[in-house]
């Protein structure tokens, strides 16, 4: 699989998404504390947090799926299949 992002872009985007997730966590915590967990603003903040977490996770999956065979760890099972 060829990356649509360069390696540097991928690393930068991972840092950027992590920062966004942390900021949304802070906002979610604040709205929940001030307005209650059942308020609409707290619910929207939680949904935004979940979305950013999912996006960050998808980016990590792309990284693991896109590793070249040379970059993957070798699994040794002790058995051979022919």
pLDDT tens, position by position, 48-72: 999 999 999 999 998 887 654 434 4
Domain parsing of the chain, residue ranges: 7-64
Residues 69, 82: Cα–Cα separation, whole Å: 20
Q: Report the predicted TM-score, pTM, of the whole model to 2 decimal places.
A: 0.71
Q: What is the pLDDT of residue 2?
A: 62
Residues 5, 16: Cα–Cα separation, whole Å: 14
pLDDT at 4 over 90: no
Q: In this predicted structure, which of 9-13, 27-31, 42-46 has the lowest mean pLDDT? A: 9-13
Q: What is the pLDDT of residue 38?
A: 96
Region of 78 on the Ramachandran plot (φ > 0 left; ψ -120 to 50 alpha; else beta): left
22, 52 Cβ separation under 8 angstroms: no
């Amino acid at each position: 699989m060829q990356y649509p992002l360069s390696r540097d872009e991928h690393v930068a985007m991972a840092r950027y998404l992590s920062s966004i997730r942390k900021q949304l966590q802070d906002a979610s915590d604040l709205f929940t504390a001030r307005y209650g967990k059942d308020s609409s603003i707290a619910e929207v903040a939680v949904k935004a947090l979940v979305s950013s977490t999912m996006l960050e996770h998808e980016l990590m999956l792309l990284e693991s799926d896109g590793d070249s065979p040379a970059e993957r760890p070798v699994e040794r099972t002790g058995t051979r299949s022919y």
